[in-house]
A and B are shown apart, each in its own frame.
Chain A
Amino acid sequence: MSGPTVELTIDGVPVVVPHGTPLLEAAREAGVDIPHLCYHPALSSAGSCGLCLVEVKGKLVQACREQAQPGMEVCTDGGRISRLRKLILELILSDHPQDCLTCERSGACDLQRYAYRYQLDANRFMGPDHERREAAPREDNPFIRYEPEKCVLCGRCVRVCAEVQGRHVLGYAGRGFASEVTSPFARPLTETNCELCGQCVAVCPSGALTERERRFTGREWEFRVTTTVCPFCGCGCPLTLHLLKDQIVRVSGGRDGFRLCVKGRFGLSFVHREDRLRAPMVRRQGKLTESSWEEALSSVAAKLREIREQHGPQAVAGMSSAKCTNEDNYLFQKLLRATLGTNNVDHCARLCHAPTVAGLAQSFGSGAMTNSIADIEEATCLLITGSNTTEAHPIVAQAVIRAARRGARLIVADPRRIELADIADVHLRQRPGTDVAWLNGMAHVILEEGLWNSEFVEQRCEGLEELREALAPYTPEAVEELTGIPADDLRRAACLYADSQRSTIVYSMGITQHTTGTDNVLAVANLAMLTGHIGRRGTGVNPLRGQNNVQGACDLGALPNVFPGYQPVSDPSARAKFEQAWGAPLPAAPGLTAVEIIDAARAGEIKALLIMGENPLVTHPDQRHVREALAALELLVVLDIFPSETSELAHVVLPAASFAEKDGTFTSTERRVQRLRCALPPPGEAWADWEILCRLSTRLGFPMAYGHPQEIMDEIASLTPIYGGISYARLDGEGLQWPCPHPDHPGTPVLHQEEFTRGKGRFHPVRYQGPTEIPDEEYPFALTTGRVLNHFHSRTMTRRVRGLQELLPEGYVEIHPADAAQLGMIPDTLVRVTSRRGSIVTLARVTQRAQEGTVFIPFHFAEAAANALTPADSLDPSSKIPALKACAVRLEHIGPD
């Protein structure tokens, strides 16, 4: 226990707790459960239910509000305390439906538990004339059922909505007997700004708020529970699955035991969908038909052998998966490298954070989030750029919102008016693709105004003089010219960022998905080093990774230039180590990146492609180009859980187990390695990816035999220094954050504390170069792409979740009202969006969120695929990421559909 402590006794039991602990929490230390309804440890205290009254020196105090004092003697129950509690419960229950027989909360209900504990077998306040609130249950949205009659007005849901989620949807209405919790003006939740995160359901102590879909599908005491990790974004939230007969009935858990987003809490039913792949499929006479594993694997192995013999190992490539486990990824790259003899292995990180991996490695020596998610809350100033955090990383956004509530300054730099811009101190709206200019501009102001941290720079960094010289032209006025950001706003942002105790930068694909992606990242790193806002809690450079295990897929070497742990394939000593461990000669030349693999396939140089859990036909830029490339292959093998746009083109499709059906580990965006646990058997004949890879490798003459993913992790640990201390035995709790070099190492929540991974932090002067494709007369709009809250990536999973699909069934293009007016567009009618690559038809959503001259399209919808428009030929030279965030399009009004 750090910090000052207090000693007191609870019912005669002495306890020691940190200073400032409420009595209710202190009592838990003594093993005493003080009843309470309105109190929740993560929320401000309301002190309204009155159940937690305890006695201190004969005086009644509220245990949720009274803080522990030295020497306090607290009596928590018995005598008048019990009588008072009984009275309060009687009053609540006099107005509460007694339908525990069918109530979904039964068995997990606080009210029920207390009623039993205080022996409420009769109620003095219920009589023949008894008046009771009457209100019908409400199901005005796909996920949350609200039964107002069961509400005890504790206000937890109201507070969680405001304080944790920052939405302020739920509130009280009415007075006295008629009081109720409701949305504003009693609108259906889907018509408010509710995100349906379900935090209110998670904290509700009675049956008032429950999961709508679980109704009559299982009772609390019948469930089997499995603790695992969410399969959606990179936040890495722990999940507890409640299962009945191998069906997921409900989901609990999350950060702090209750924080999840709409996808994690309500979006897992895809696991049970009928159209899961259940048996291997082989293409016969042009049609995919079911086959045995024997036939499928032997046909893949035979064809791979043939291609390798005829065209050499460089004619084979693999796309690994940021959705699969670390163990799956490790085996996938091992299969490509050791079994097949090629470094042509990559995955979708190429399309999201390749510049981060390249750029931060140059600046700091390590290309990952420098700090932890929880740590973001401790910042006193936050710069959020190129990250629509509330939609793409909802749980990180909660940390941002909490920090802002506590008074931290918030700078948002984003062309779109994203939700966080509403609570920001400064919103910088740069034109897409001009990030180097404003980042340099901020650094310029910081140097000019003497706001830089000279001590930090002198001791820990190098290359300042070159940087100073390069920054000279980036005066705020010059930057305004280039970016459209008012000079004074830039100055203000620079001052806020530099002149704060702990500033953190949070960024995502708005920074990386440009032809200057790596330069953008370097410019971000320059800012952090210049001000010394790195290497401490609450500071740092924090790239948010998009997929559940994109960090792990990179860590485990599903990249063409490095082995697991970022050990370069070109380094002879690293190669020797892996050759010895794997017992196979390994190629020295780095392989092709994902975009290059597609190009090479189209050119006929790559003949065989293995794809594990990816859908490049929807996710890679320039869809037509991708389709041609995949069609040109002699062998396309797809491992997946569902048929996808890509698998339709495959020669062989192999059914895989979903996240809920296998063991393994995921590494979240904060470098936290966490245990994924098998909760139910895979459907039909599906196997876990690692099992498929082992059998395929064995058939190719390179036996891989692992009894359990744990054995794979042991091999990973022995070869990968940053994972050196990681074993399943150590992952039972919260997991471990790498680097974790040896079995006694506690993991590393904050990188670069004493010195940078590369020794000294290196400033890299970067010059502004505009986007390669700028709007012109023919294509007058800039297009940016991105995510929305309710869907995930190519929607293979979320389109199969009824409620998510209901919330947002189709794609759209966001247009500024002025642009829409000029084009004569009517909101919610169809428009054609055309780029130099292709054309799509989608709905026009006219909104102030868009910037004038810039449109936004979510990339989830294959039916209106953003990647039909985006270019595959303008790449960032060092990381090879395509410019997915800035290309030119034109719009044409079509009219109502």
Chain B
Amino acid sequence: MRIADLPKYELKPEEIKAVDQIISKHKGKNGAVIPVLQQIQKRIGFIPIDVQKKVAVQLGIPDKNVYGVATFYSFFSLMPRGKYNIQVCMGTACFVKGGKKIVDNIQKELGIKPGQTTNDRKYSLQVTRCVGACGIAPVIIINDTVYKKVNPLKVMDIVCSLE
């Protein structure tokens, strides 16, 4: 992903207000960056570059610190995610039980790579490390729902049934 390729996103007035509120709640506290970014992501769904700049200015820290955190954690996204955010576990157990195949299939069917979103903003795909559900491997998580013992060949049935 290149930063220059990121879509330009205009925040809605209520989103700007929400971002300001989130930042002001944490202003002056040590270690504010992560909770601020978490709440922004929760509210807007991702963290646009302009918002990162705003966080830096208002918290009085260098831009690079916010950018570093935002790009370090896989939880944070710099681009909008789809209506359905598909996370495929690639922890050791899920991997040996077919996690890789699950990813390959979804990639092929949706035409996106991990970290990307479909053009209609419906689906986005992410690969995660162990989610701590090895007993029911392989798992995928779509938004907040965990799907257990997923058959790699039938994963698209789950995806397609989401409507």
Contact = CB atoms under 8 A, between A and B. Distances in A.
Interface in B1-25: 2-4
Interface in B42-60: 49, 52-53, 56
Nearest to B72: A175
Interface stretch (B63-71, B82-90, B130-138): B63-71
Interface in A159-209: 162, 168-175, 183-187, 192
B49 to A, nearest CB: 5
Nearest to B62: A168
B74 interface: yes
Contacts of A168: 62-65
Given A168-B64, A169-B64, A173-B67, A185 B52 contact: yes
A171 B62 contact: yes
A184 B71 contact: no
A174 B72 contact: yes
Given A162-B62, A171-B62, A185 B74 contact: no
A171 B68 contact: yes
B55 to A, nearest CB: 12
A184 B72 contact: no
A186 B2 contact: yes
A170 B74 contact: no
A174 B74 CA distance: 9
Contacts of B68: 171-173
A170 B3 contact: no
Contacts of A172: 64, 68, 72
B72 A171 contact: no
Contacts of A175: 71-74
Contacts of B67: 171, 173, 184-185
Contacts of B74: 175
A169 B74 CA distance: 23
A181 to B, nearest CB: 10
Contacts of B73: 175
B145 to A, nearest CB: 26
Contacts of B64: 168-172, 183-184
A184 B2 contact: no
Interface residues of A, number: 15
A894 to B, nearest CB: 33
Contacts of A170: 64
B3 A186 contact: yes
A611 B155 CA distance: 85
Contacts of A169: 62, 64
Contacts, number: 46
A192 B63 CA distance: 10
A174 B63 contact: no
Interface in A114-170: 162, 168-170
B59 to A, nearest CB: 13
Nearest to A186: B3
A146 B73 CA distance: 25
A529 to B, nearest CB: 37
A186 B66 CA distance: 13
Contacts of B3: 185-187
A171 B56 CA distance: 14
Nearest to A162: B62
Contacts of A186: 2-4
Contacts of B2: 186
Nearest to A179: B72
Nearest to A161: B64
Nearest to A174: B71
A192 B66 CA distance: 15
B122 to A, nearest CB: 26
Contacts of A192: 63
Contacts of A173: 67-68, 71-72
A847 to B, nearest CB: 16
B126 to A, nearest CB: 13
A171 B65 contact: yes
B6 to A, nearest CB: 9
A186 B72 CA distance: 14
Interface string A232-261: 000000000000000000000000000000
Contacts of A184: 53, 56, 62-64, 66-67
A175 B74 CA distance: 9
Nearest to B66: A184
Nearest to B78: A185
A114 B40 CA distance: 46
Q: Which of A168, A172, A184, A186 has the most CB atoms of chain B within a 10 A radius of its CB?
A: A184
B153 to A, nearest CB: 26
Q: Which of B64, B66, B71 has the most CB atoms of chain A within a 10 A radius of its CB?
A: B64
B3 to A, nearest CB: 4
A172 B67 CA distance: 8
B49 A185 contact: yes
A168 B60 CA distance: 12
Contacts of B72: 172-175
A188 to B, nearest CB: 10
Contacts of B71: 173-175
Interface in A378-406: none
A698 B52 CA distance: 70
A185 B63 contact: yes
A37 B8 CA distance: 39
A179 to B, nearest CB: 8
Nearest to A183: B64
A170 to B, nearest CB: 7
A166 to B, nearest CB: 10
Contacts of B4: 186
A369 to B, nearest CB: 32
Q: Which of B4, B49, B68 has the most CB atoms of chain A within a 10 A radius of its CB?
A: B68
Interface in A797-847: none
Nearest to A180: B71
A792 B67 CA distance: 35
A169 B68 CA distance: 11
A183 B71 CA distance: 13
B135 to A, nearest CB: 27
A186 B71 CA distance: 11
Contacts of B62: 162, 168-169, 171, 184
A162 B63 CA distance: 12
A244 to B, nearest CB: 36
A173 B70 CA distance: 8
Contacts of A183: 64
6 contacts: A169-B62, A169-B64, A171-B68, A172-B68, A175-B72, A185-B67
Given A184-B53, A185-B67, 10 more contacts: A162-B62, A171-B62, A171-B63, A171-B65, A171-B68, A173-B72, A175-B72, A184-B62, A184-B67, A186-B3
3 closest Cβ contacts across the A-B interface? A171-B64, A168-B62, A184-B63
